[in-house]
Amino acid sequence: DAGVIQSPRHEVTEMGQEVTLRCKPISGHDYLFWYRQTMMRGLELLIYFNNNVPIDDSGMPEDRFSAKMPNASFSTLKIQPSEPRDSAVYFCASGRPEVGTEAFFGQGTRLTVV
Amino acid sequence: GDSVTQMEGPVTLSEEAFLTINCTYTATGYPSLFWYVQYPGEGLQLLLKATKADDKGSNKGFEATYRKETTSFHLEKGSVQVSDSAVYFCALLNYGGATNKLIFGTGTLLAVQP
């Protein structure tokens, strides 16, 4: 398996624009997690899905953020409108916690909002 | 709720020095415990894990023992190398508990000097 695949690896956008981050989890994993990492706040869990259903979105910072998982092999995290304070590295991870395994992380998307 | 506390960094060591990074946790039940490593510009990778009390996880010369009596999972390595320079995250997974998600510590930056 190729692992968790995220795209794009880097994104630079202007304030006010819509940004969509994409993630393909590892096949067979039924949990998918979106994290955000910044120097100030460290690693934050934004939302996670189980079998494509959002379970906990309490980490989503505000209504400008939304996430979807239309099927088992694809998820998106959308920011609309984007703001400079959204600049961070966004990670997607997948796993099977029901069997005690770890989460596998993608390489991340580095987002810069100018 | 469940939480992880790890020692703050940065930790600066000379090559071949002994490494300890402390990690303690708070959780109900019997969580699984993990150490992840993040090299510059990359995502998080699993370094080692332990799923029950007294288990010892080991990988690449790193070790950590799941101590339920002290609720600890300290990371150790007998002789560090420059290539070990990275950020290390302690994490727990309490599947079946309040949430089925990985909970991370704040991360500890390790810098090894030649």
Question: Of B36, B102, B106, which to mutate for an interface test with A (greatest number of A Cβ within 10 Å)?
Answer: B102
Alpha-helical regions (H) of chain A = none
Do residues B107 and B87 make contact, with C-beta atoms less than 8 angstroms apart?
Answer: yes
Answer whether B33 touches A (CB < 8 Å).
Answer: no
Cβ-defined contact of A105 to B101 (cutoff 8 Å): no
pLDDT value, residue B102: 82
Cα–Cα distance measured from residue B89 to residue B80, given in angstroms and rounded to the nearest whole number: 17
Task: Output the six-digit token pair for A52.
Answer: 């494509």
Which residues of chain B, if any, have pLDDT below 70? 96-99
Chain A neighbors of B97, CB-CB under 8 A: none
Cβ-defined contact of A108 to B32 (cutoff 8 Å): no
Which residues of chain A, if any, have pLDDT below 70? 1
pLDDT value, residue A30: 92
